[in-house]
Structure formats: C-alpha cells, structure tokens
Amino acid sequence: MQQVIKFLFSPVAFALGFLWPLFTQIFIATDLLQAGGLAIGIGAVVALTWGVMAQLRGSWIWIK
C-alpha cells in the first residue's frame, strides 16, 4: 500500500495526470497542432520526459 501512495504522489504521476492534458491543450489552443492523436502524443512525450527527469533528479527545480 505504501508503494501505491508513493507512486500516486510521484512526479511521474503528476506528469501523467496534470501535465500531459495541460501540454496537449496548450498545443491545441496556440494552434501549434490540430486536435487529435499527434497533439496527444507530443503532449505525452513532453510531460513524461519532464516527469521522469524530475523523478530521477528528485526535484522539479533545475538548480539544486
């Protein structure tokens, strides 16, 4: 149970649950991409990359 709680509050879960839809909507709203699979895919790549980097570094802030 403790592992589940740790994952739910991890940077990767935050990236999946919040950043992915946010980046997808930003790409669509700014007309960088049309709504559809490409916008969703690029939003996922950007969000997950950022989330994994934060998980490995242990911080969202670049200067540590």
Residue 34 domain flag: yes
Provide CB contacts within 8 A for 27, sequence distance 6+: 33, 39, 42, 43
- Identify the pLDDT of residue 16: 92
* Confidence bin at 3 (pLDDT 50/70/90): confident
| 16-51 per-position pLDDT tens digit | 999 999 999 999 999 999 999 999 999 999 999 999
Number of domains in the chain: 1
Residue 31 is part of which domain span? 15-57
The answer to the question of residue 33 being in a domain is yes
Residue 50 domain flag? yes
* pLDDT at position 64: 61
What pLDDT was estimated at residue 32? 94
